[in-house]
A and B are shown apart, each in its own frame.
Chain A
Amino acid sequence: MPGSGTRDARRTERYLDGLMAADERRAAEVPIDTEVDPAVQFAARELRAGLVRVHPSFRFEESLSARLGAGAARLRAGLPIDGAAATDQGTLAQFHGRAAAAEPAFAEPAFIAAPADVAGLLAGPTSMAVGMPPVTADLTPGEPASRFATQPRAIWPAAAFRRLPDMTARPSRPLIVGGVGVASAAISIGAVYVAWRHSHPASSRMGRAARAAHGRTGSPGRGRRTGVISGILGVVS
């Protein structure tokens, strides 16, 4: 024979079932059970009426879906998923050269370098533990920094999920190569053209007359310049 507490609990459960069912079928009437404590009924109705349906933002939903997809891809490929550890502990991430190192961490607080991280940077050239909270213990000189890298701590998951493959792949950035070379070539071509014009004066009749009148008695530097230009042309040709 159940005690009164158990009986009341069963009645309350039945009342809650009725309340939920009424709400589900959008019934206006709220079930009334005279055997259930009115105060309990009131509390249940208030909670039911005041229930706010919440949903995460679409942006969050899609970004988490993408991260789960990346994790699934890693699992399918037989790779260990960082996300697994990401929920509980830190993981090791590769350094992607100078560009990655120079891009810190203003977007992700978990990447703020702690003393141990800095030491890890100095000690380990290719990898370091990321996403670790700042370490309060002082790192004495000579102490192996790997001690910290091998003791993962609880981290913010976003920091670890970022390292999943297609999440970390940065879009390739077009690089203009040889801009200075192009400019230099244009200047050189211009110089060659000017030198060529100097060494090949116009052959019109008027030109010949002008040269006859002024050409050989020009400025004293003219002959020297012409010699230099002829030298350049000789080299070029």
Chain B
Amino acid sequence: MFGSSEEGARPARLDRDRSLVEAARRDPSHFDALYRKYLAQVYSYAFYELRDHHAAEDATERVFMQALVGLPRFEERVDAFIAARAPMSAADSTEISTFRVWLFRIARNVVANERRRDRRRPVSTLDEAVLISAPEDVVEAAAAREAVGAAWQAVARLPEDRRRAIILRFVDEMSTAEIAAVMDRSEGAVRVLLHRALRSVADDLRSRLS
């Protein structure tokens, strides 16, 4: 718990969102600050996982609504996951927001449910988004588009846990420790997962280029 006598030694004290979380817990209307802070991240995660704008919006909505309702229970869950984890370095601790981890655990479940619910999603939306961001030079744009599209398409073909690790690392810029917390894995397992995922993407790109 945040308020326990051992709180000085607890990583949870270093949660950079602690003040916002406590304000939201005192008055739920202050949840808006947390919502604004993490909306883009949660949406991006859902978008890269589901590859569909509308599905990502629905998932985002569910995530934040569940977070609002579950906020009073946030402490216990965070405490449980912190206790289960290996001790972190000070540098890791300052980077970690337990609220963010908790929020992304909700997002992970929501997205997993969404994917289970509808496995036949169109996969064109993300590719279109990639096209929009292409540079202006036509030839360069075409080449970049091809490479970029291929890289993220390769990610889409990865097994679920590898794909999730890559998205959390690249899209949401999470540290290995945070990804481990979100995915309920050890940090070592996440490192190996990321390494293998990148190798798979590289193999996929290589086979396409050849």
B148, closest chain A residue (CB) = A50
Is residue A93 contacting chain B, with contact meaning CB distance below 8 A?
no
Q: Which residue of A lies closest to B192 (CB)?
A: A9
**Are A56 and B60 in contact (CB-based, < 8 A)?**
yes
Complex Cα distance, B18 from A184, in Å, reads: 70
Supposing A56-B43, A73-B29, A84-B69 touch, asked if A156 and B58 sit within 8 A by C-beta, the answer is yes
Q: Which of A48-100 contact B (CB under 8 A)?
A: 48-56, 60-61, 64-65, 67-69, 71-73, 75-76, 81, 83-84, 86-87
Asked if B57 is an interface residue, CB under 8 A from chain A, the answer is yes
B198 within 8 A of A: yes
Question: Is A12 engaged at the interface, CB distance under 8 Å to the other chain?
Answer: yes
Contact, CB under 8 Å: A65 / B152: no
Choose from B62, B188, B192, B203 the contact partner of A157 (Cβ within 8 Å): B62
Taking the closest CB of chain A, its distance from the CB of B162, in whole angstroms, is: 12
**A: contact size bracket:** 35 or more
Task: Decide if A55 touches B40 in the complex (CB within 8 Å).
Answer: yes
- The docked-state distance in angstroms from the alpha carbon of A51 to that of B133 is 9
- A43 to B62 Cα, complex, angstroms: 33
Chain A stretch 10-31: residues in CB contact (< 8 A) with chain B? 10, 12-13, 16, 20
Chain A residue contacts of B94, Cβ below 8 A: none
A5 is an interface residue with CB less than 8 A from chain B = yes
A71-B110 Cα distance, complex, nearest whole Å = 19
Which A residues are in CB contact (< 8 Å) with B173?
A: 20
Contacting pair B147 A47 (CB below 8 A):
no
Interface residues on chain B, number (Cβ under 8 Å): 58
Contact (Cβ within 8 A) A13 B176: yes
State the CA gap A48–B66 with chains docked (Å). 31
Do A47 and B199 touch (CB < 8 A)? no
Residues of A within 8 Å of B32, CB to CB, are 65, 68-69, 72
Complex: A10 Cα to B66 Cα, angstroms: 35
Query: Are B129 and A72 neighbours in the complex by a CB distance under 8 Å?
Result: no
Is the Cβ of A43 less than 8 Å from the Cβ of B65?
no
**Would you give the 0/1 interface string for B52-79, flagging 1 where the beta carbon is closer than 8 Å to chain A?**
0000111011101110110000000000
Chain B residues lying within 8 Å of A154, measured Cβ to Cβ, are: 117
Residues from chain B with Cβ under 8 Å of A87 in the complex: 62, 65-66, 69, 110
Question: Do A47 and B155 touch across chains, with their CB atoms under 8 A apart?
Answer: yes
Docked Cα-Cα span, A68 to B35, in Å, equals: 9
Q: How far is the CB of B77 from chain A (nearest CB, A)?
A: 16
Q: Are A43 and B202 in contact (CB under 8 A)?
A: yes
| Segment among A34-42, A173-181, A187-195 that sits at the interface with chain B | A34-42
* Chain B residues with CB under 8 A of A71: 28, 65, 68-69
Which B positions have Cβ atoms within 8 angstroms of A?
27-29, 31-32, 35-36, 39-40, 43-44, 47-48, 56-58, 60-62, 64-66, 68-69, 110, 117, 126, 129-130, 132-133, 144, 147-152, 154-155, 166, 169-171, 173, 176, 188, 191-192, 194-195, 198-199, 201-203, 205-206
Q: Closest 5 A-B residue pairs measured CB to CB?
A: A50-B148, A72-B28, A39-B202, A84-B69, A9-B191
